[in-house]
Amino acid sequence: MKIKKCDSCGTYTMKDLCPKCDKPTKHPQPPRFSPEDKYGKWRRLEKIKQMREHERR
């Protein structure tokens, strides 16, 4: 059985209705960006920062 999540209160449940607020639950969506992408972005930003620091000198 797949676990579902209530969009309203964030409760995870196996039922089609949230036990807390009686709203229909959904299958949780995977995050749009993976953590690797996030860190990759930070790494790129850090690189740009370093390049700018380099230009200044």
Element at 30 (helix H, strand E): none
* Binder among 3, 14, 17, 21 for Zn ion (CB under 5 A): 21
d(CA 42, CA 36): 10
3-state secondary structure of 56: helix
d(CA 46, CA 1): 43
Contact segment (CB under 5 A) with Zn ion among 1-9, 30-38, 41-49 equals: 1-9
Q: Which is nearer to Zn ion, 15 or 47 (CB)?
A: 15
Does 8 bind Zn ion (CB under 5 A)? Our answer is yes
Q: What does the binding site for Zn ion look like in residue numbers (CB under 5 A)? A: 6, 8-9, 11, 18, 20-21
